[in-house]
Structure 1
Amino acid sequence: MIVIDGRVPDEAREITTGQANRVWYVDGPVSYVLKHYGDPARAANEAVALTLLTQHQAPAPQLLGADPGAQPAWTAQATVHAEPVPATQLLHELADPLAVVHRIRGSHVGRLAGARRHRTWRDYLRGRLDNYADAAPDLAHAAAVLSRELDVTDVDTEPRLLHHDLQPGHLVRSLSGRSLLLDWELAVFGDPLSDLARLAVRLDLPDPADVLHLTHRPAPAAGRRIHLYWRIHQLADAALSTDPVVQQRGRSRLS
């Protein structure tokens, strides 16, 4: 019987692509992907998200093991033999798996685990704006403008599961043709339009309304909400991104 304990086996092959975590492919009788996290809270959040997704038979990898309290924190996920969906087909193929995800109701607002829970979506967003202003004081005015707009925008919504890091590479197509969403460490419960707004930022779209077709029944105020979320995600990039290109693009968009 295979024992997965978070340690990197000698035969593991590193497949790290991001900046915050290290990732290995481990071959064997049971192959799996081992992920070490720079932030234990992200490990806890991804473990809970994957467990929830499995319960709902949603399009995501199966969690085989996790220990957010270890040094380093880790998860082990079932290997997905798949290829990334090309960016040119992303918006076409994302609709169905995203609809499954957005039907999953949340018990609270905010991260699933490893972070403070919020009473309302508005409270969560206001907290994010405060964090961005603290991280980049020169952007405090932009955060204040968005906070005032948040106060007069109807954002009350039943919390649903959001991936919250949609971008090319995170949607893959398995050999059987099934689409799966990877990398759930930033998942939150909130407004599905925020998922779409973040995707619009990642694709550098000039108008977030270009992705509104990914929600099946947009509310009458959806256009205003998605534009507000779009600008909040741009502020997040401008204040917190460790990638100079992404950070500068966020600042340029804000200005």
Structure 2
Amino acid sequence: MDGIDGRVPPSAPEITTGQANRVWSVEGPTPYILKHYGDPSRAANEAAALRLLARHRAPAPQLLAASSDSSTLPWTAQAALHAKPVPIDRFLADLAEPLASIHRIPGTHFGRLAGAQKHRSWTGYLHDRLRTYAVAAPALRAVARRLHQEVEASIDAIQPALLHHDLQPGHLLREPAGSQMLIDWELATFGDHRSDLARLAVRLDLDDPTQMLALVSRPDAAAEDRLHLYWRIHLLADAALSTDRAVRERAVGRLLASSVT
């Protein structure tokens, strides 16, 4: 869009809430949210996800512009929303419908939409992630090895669907008209929709991830086992990669407890 170049206007207030990116609210004829990324691949992935979501008229922010020059700081500009986070006591109930609409969007491969390796199979994607976690956390290589074995034994033909892959309170907004919208798509992935539910169970710090099956209209016979497997993979991701020590320690504790049971 004309006039949006990724630079922060002097009068724009910063509204950053996370650790990986910086975010500003920019006023003007077309108000927008300007997001600067620490990781170029995340910027490319969010831009690709928002373009895909727009084609499917899915509940997500409109992408106004994005960086195209690799020599500059990666950024996106997204339409400002007149919406507020859904209260925590309404989060799961309000999430079900928009999440179902997202999971109906088919993928062309497995893995991130852009800025990362694309995989021909869901199994290949999971093995790749597990190798990354094992390198980052050598003390957990035995856990990663067991998960590799479970992935190989339990995954069959999965059709890729769009996943948000960072579901948590604060990422679901409600507009004044009452409709819900999901934000923060930089980790969007094509894969098994149950992986979204497992990651959400980790973010909600649940002891039992199968509670998330309430968000699925017709869970199949393998859903519970797969959900437990993906839950442990996401726990391993937190244990290996989180920058928050408390998150790492909590994930390790849950991993060890789950291996005992």
Name 1:63's counterpart in structure 2: 63
Name 1:172's counterpart in structure 2: 173
Structure-1 separation of matches of 2:162 and 2:224: 20
Contact 2:123 2:155 in 1 (8 A): no
- CA-atom RMSD, angstroms? 1.0
Name 2:209's counterpart in structure 1: 208
How far apart are 1:71 and its partner, in Å? 2.1
TM-score normalised by L of structure 2: 0.96
Matches within 5 A, 1:44-123: 44-67=44-67, 69-123=70-124
How far apart are 1:2 and its partner, in Å? 4.9
How far apart are 1:149 and its partner, in Å? 1.0
How far apart are 1:178 and its partner, in Å? 1.2
Matches within 5 A, 1:135-154: 135-154=136-155
How far apart are 1:11 and its partner, in Å? 1.5
How far apart are 1:9 and its partner, in Å? 0.7
Structure 1 unaligned regions, length at least 5: none
Contact 1:2 1:30 in 2 (8 A): no
How far apart are 1:156 and its partner, in Å? 2.5
Structure-1 separation of matches of 2:157 and 2:214: 21
One-letter identity of the residue aligned with 1:210: Q
Structure 2 unaligned regions, length at least 5: 257-261
What do residues 193-231 of structure 1 show as CA deviations (whole Å, max 9, x unaligned)? Answer: 000000000001111110112122212111110100000
What do residues 152-177 of structure 1 show as CA deviations (whole Å, max 9, x unaligned)? Answer: 11342100000000001000101111
TM-score normalised by L of structure 1: 0.98
Structure-2 separation of matches of 1:233 and 1:154: 16
Contact 2:59 2:181 in 1 (8 A): yes
Classify 1:200/1:73 alpha carbon distance in 2 versus 1 (closer, same or farther; 3 Å): same
Identity of matched residues, %: 61
Contact 2:103 2:161 in 1 (8 A): yes
Structure-1 separation of matches of 2:76 and 2:35: 5
Contact 2:163 2:196 in 1 (8 A): yes
